[in-house]
Amino acid sequence: MSWPGVDPSWSRRAVVAGHAWHYLDNTSSLPAGRAPHGTVLCVHGNPTWSYLWRSVLAAGAEAGWRVVAVDQLEMGFSEHTGAHHRLADRVAQLGALTDHLGLSGPGWDGLAVVTLGHDWGGVVSMGWAVDHPRELAGLILTNTAVHQPGEKRVPALLRLARHRSVHAGATTVTPAFLDVTLSLASPALAPEVREAYRSPYRTADDRRGIGTFVEDIPVDAGHPSHAELARIAGGVAALDVPALLMWGPKDPVFYERYLRDLRDRLPHADIHRFEGAGHLVVEDADVAGTVVTWLRRRLEGRPAAPDQVAAELPAPVAGQYRPLYAALDELSGSETPAVVALSPGGTSELTWADLARRVEHLALGLVDSGVRPGHRVSLLIPPGVDLTTALFACLRIGAVVVLADAGLGVRGLTRAVRGAYPDHILGIERAMVAARALGWPGQKFVVVPRGHEAGYTPPRTAHSRRRTIGIAGSLRELLARGATLAAAGTALPAEPAPEDDAAILFTSGSTGPAKGVVYTHRGLAGMCSVVAATLGISPERPFVAGFAPFALIGTAVGATSATPDMDVTAPGTLRAGALADAVAAIDAYAVFASPSALANVVRTARDLTPEQRDALAGVQLFLSAGAPISSTRLAQVLEVMPNAEPHTPYGMTEVLPLTDVSLDQIRAAEADAATGAVAGAGNGSCVGTPVPDAQIRIVPLDATGAATGEPTATPGVTGEVLVTAPNLKDRYDQLWATQDRSATWPGWHRTGDVGHLDASGRLWIEGRLAHVIVTADGVVTPVQVENDAMSVRGVVRAAAVGVGPVGTQQVAVVVETDPALHAGARRAPSLAPEGLARAVRSAVAVPVAAVLRVPEVPTDVRHNSKVERARIADWAARMLAGARAGRP
């Protein structure tokens, strides 16, 4: 038989204890004359077969690992006799087969065995692992379960498949169960792959094993296989070998709770969640590549980068540690404002004394309600007094704060919250309703907006609907309970250690699904101190935070902060008047905001009153953070805050900030680029020099646009930006492979950004590694092309993308124009008018194959500033191929 992706020589047969087995074995493809590192024993679930593991067989052979993938009895091309095999039978039968093959038992040849299982094959593989501690070197699992909570129902699809009126017809008489399972792949399986999966199950007799396998699912304690499942579950918890859990979160059968159960049983396990993948995670994502990389790191002990390269990098600098909540203790007697929040309902304010007391009371209330050190607490609260209170209360008791920006949208927020799997949620009523409807995990506490005046009536709250939306209490009740405990002399728990996890901050999601970034208390404190030191923030210098993260940093450094009246899910809603009112409320020294927020401030500045203009004239520094911003935009903002020094730092959720640069410094850098006075100046956007203790290197690009060179600080070398700093993340949450790729050099972070250093030590950002264009004449990075295109009169936004195969890509520039200057600016997407196209080609230094005009160049949802080049590239390719592409 011929199965796509399977070398025919891998197909083997064996007869063991009267049973006829089929299995795949990649021994024939292993490097000649070299012993394998070990054996990976793969066990499929229901209704797949060993074909599921073809990518692992191929990748394992290349990496020097023997891979054996078995067809369980009654499945695949092993014997189909109609026998009903229970879980204990399957575990024993697998052991007999591995004894026969020399992977275990008396004839064991000493090669370590790593088990790899999926679906109910995961349980069988765990049973084998528990029974073979001598041979076992590692345990790898994908979407499976070893425990069904008594208070939870079996997943709906399994309940349906087991229902007596459906069971036989769906699993045996027809291929419905098989076809539904195959339909879960995303993207859809190729027809030839689908046929390979179906090939052992052509007739009802062939499919009897599928039906009996479903019947053997231990749904309760009375099931014949329940005792064996319990035995395996207990045994797995005692295993101390390296373990890897890989998961497809979109699985409608094996929910996140099963991953959490496995994580609790194997607390030392590495975890990687493949966002967007589902039940057939082996088909949906690069499971094979992850397996091979993990084996190299954990079993072979191979580093991600050669030791001699790692040795050339300076050691990361450790920062001084000051607890984030230290300022609350130091200022607990102060009656000056700590947090001010402006909203349509008025102004809410807390003094430092109020805030310290409130944090203590909430911390005690949370502990009394079951929140413990290490528990994850998702905070779904808008910036202001309640968020600040909740954040510092959680940090003080050692709970891990989960912060996902509402700007991610419902789908993005759902992925983030489910992925972090919090133990508790504190959120406004709208978040509680969403949590109930979308199945967000965790004990839930509702946060009711604070009234600022007598007679203020908050909106209808969840207090009247506790059962409906499933809340355990409210922030007010937690505070009241904590106040009672404080009055009785109840002490707070011991302070968390500097290396304990403090927070999981989610990235913007502008370059793929948002990632959870884990910070320790030391790392988070380092971020606050670096921002304060770089920008001169101190208790004597209050500031307005139109960019939510900085409001929390202000409290940590003892600076009064105010949040303006705006929709935090849409930064572009910040109006100049609202900003001025917030500045006036605290006599702000500084303003922090995102580029889209500042753009709207500029647009609405004409509505300012004389008093508001005076307030903004008192600002001495403004900071644009969160996304790139041009010097032209900074200059426009300067007209609104004429006495402020404009700054724009460069950084990311993983390490913020890394560099800092002022408008004057940007202009000086641009002048150096124009005159050639400084080597390496130009070709990108200057983001300044490193902040204290941050270090930057460049990993050069090769001819294919990949960053494969040795890290360097040589001016003018373009490559991936590599960084380290005391405020660097600890790791990505449940993204082992992503973390491994980002930390090729221990203690350093591969940013995914492309840029170069100049001879003055300034960093120039040229784009994202994923957006590099590889033409026949060499590598082209997008930022300078876009900057040049935007120098054309009337072009307000541009995206430079590559069209065609890598190596022969053509540069296409997609532009958005100002309707006030271009009559056709809002027309349907098309090739740009000849005059506009000619002007863009003339402005850009590299050959441009096509210039297209669109009504709006799409940007990321969260910042409204980062151009979505991957999406635009796909659209441009279809457009130029003559397809009806619509809008990008």
- Over the stretch 767-826, which tens digit does the pLDDT of each residue have? 999 999 999 999 999 999 999 999 999 998 999 999 999 999 999 999 999 998 888 889
Whether residue 196 is predicted with pLDDT greater than 90 in this model: the reply is: yes
- When mean pLDDT is compared across 361-365, 371-375, 626-630, 790-794, the lowest value belongs to 626-630
How many CB atoms are located within 10 Å of the residue 333 CB? Answer: 9
**355-385 burial by CB neighbour count: b if 16+ within 10 A, else e?**
bbbbbbbbbbbbbebebebebbbbbbbbbbb
**DSSP, res 707:** B
Q: How far, in Å, CA of 293 to CA of 740, rounded? A: 9
Q: What per-residue confidence (pLDDT) applies to 888?
A: 86
pLDDT tens, position by position, 435-446: 888 888 899 999
More confident residue, 531 or 389: 389
pLDDT band at 160 (very low <50, low <70, confident <90, very high): low
353, HSE (Cβ side, Cα atoms, 13 Å): 4
Contact (CB, 8 A) for 761 and 848 = no
Q: How far is CA 796 from CA 2, 51, 785, in A?
A: 56, 52, 14
Structure tokens, 113? 């065995």
429/437 Cα distance (integer angstroms): 12
Q: In this prediction, what percent of the chain has a pLDDT beyond 70?
A: 93
Indicate the DSSP class of residue 460: P
Mean pLDDT of the chain: 90
Q: How far apart are CA 71 and CA 200, in angstroms?
A: 10
Q: Where are the beta strands (DSSP E) in 316-395?
A: 337-343, 346-351, 376-380
Alpha carbons 202 and 468: distance in angstroms, whole number:
48
Quick check: bond before 187 cis, omega within 30? yes
Residue 457 has pLDDT above 50, yes or no: no
Q: What is the pLDDT of residue 458?
A: 45
Asked if 876 and 883 touch (Cβ cutoff 8 Å), the reply is no
pLDDT at 859: 77
User: Cα(728)–Cα(724) distance, rounded to whole angstroms?
Assistant: 6
Task: Provide mean pLDDT across the span 128-147.
Answer: 96
Contact present, 411 and 455 (Cβ < 8 Å): no
Query: What is the model's pLDDT at position 749?
Result: 96
> With 90 as the cut, is the pLDDT of residue 1 above it?
no
CA distances, 252 to each of 157, 184, 262, 770 (Å): 7, 9, 17, 31
Which residue in 845, 853, 874, 825 sits closest to 783, CA to CA? Answer: 845
CB 379 within 8 A of CB 353: no
Give the pLDDT score at 222.
84
Q: Quick one: pLDDT band at residue 463, thresholds 50, 70, 90?
A: low
What are the strands of the beta sheet with 650-652, ordered from one edge? 650-652, 655-660, 685-690, 763-768, 749-757, 719-724, 695-700
**pLDDT at residue 306 above 70?**
no
**Confidence tier at 510 by pLDDT (50, 70, 90):** low
| pLDDT score of 454 | 32
Choose the weakest-confidence range: 38-47, 453-462, 613-622. Answer: 453-462
The fraction of the chain above a pLDDT of 90, given in percent, is: 71
Domains of the chain, start order: 8-299 (3.40.50.1820), 353-450+460-514 (3.40.50.980), 522-648 (3.40.50.980), 659-766 (2.30.38.10), 773-880 (3.30.300.30)
Residue 741 and residue 789 in contact, taking contact as beta carbons nearer than 8 Å: no
Mean pLDDT of the region 559-577 = 85
pLDDT (mean) for 428-451: 84
Contact 197, 48 (CB under 8 A): yes
Which pLDDT does position 4 carry in this prediction?
A: 96
Please report the DSSP string for 604-628 in residue order. TGGG--HHHHHHHHT--EEEE-SS-
Q: How confident is the model at residue 559 (pLDDT cuts 50, 70, 90)?
A: very high
**813 CB neighbour count, 10 Å cutoff:** 29
462 — pLDDT class (breaks 50, 70, 90) = very low
Q: Which is more confidently placed, 155 or 670?
A: 670
- Which tokens hold the place of 83? 């026998």
In 3D space, the residue among 509, 594, 518, 510 whose CA is nearest the CA of residue 549 turns out to be: 594
DSSP strand pairing (19-25 vs 66-70): antiparallel
Please give the Cα distance from 862 to 596 (Å, whole number). Answer: 10
Q: How many CA atoms lie within 13 A of 17 on its CB side?
A: 12
pLDDT of 428 > 60? The answer is yes
**Cα 120 from chain centroid (whole Å):** 28
Q: What is the pLDDT of residue 404?
A: 86
pLDDT reported for residue 461: 47
How far apart, in whole angstroms, are the C-alpha atoms of residue 475 and residue 478? 5
d(CA 840, CA 788): 8
Q: pTM score, two decimals? A: 0.91
Q: What pLDDT was estimated at residue 676? A: 93
Q: Alpha helix (H) ranges present in 559-619?
A: 576-586, 595-603, 610-617
Res 455 pLDDT > 70: no
* E strand map for 744-880: 749-757, 763-768, 773-775, 778-780, 795-803, 810-817, 830-831, 850-853
Q: Are 583 and 619 in contact (CB under 8 A)?
A: yes
Q: How far apart are CA 727 and CA 724, in angstroms?
A: 8
> Of 443-457, 469-483, 631-645, 723-737, where does mean pLDDT reach its minimum?
443-457
Q: Residue 334 CA to chain centroid, in angstroms?
A: 39
- Encoded amino acid at 813, one letter: V
* Rounded CA separation 502/401 (Å): 6
The two three-digit tokens of residue 809, written as one number: 């890509």
For residue range 329-369, what is the model confidence (pLDDT) as tens digits? 999 999 999 999 888 878 889 999 999 999 999 999 999 99
Q: Please give the structure tokens belonging to residue 562.
A: 């105010």
Kindly state the average pLDDT of the residues 563-577. 83
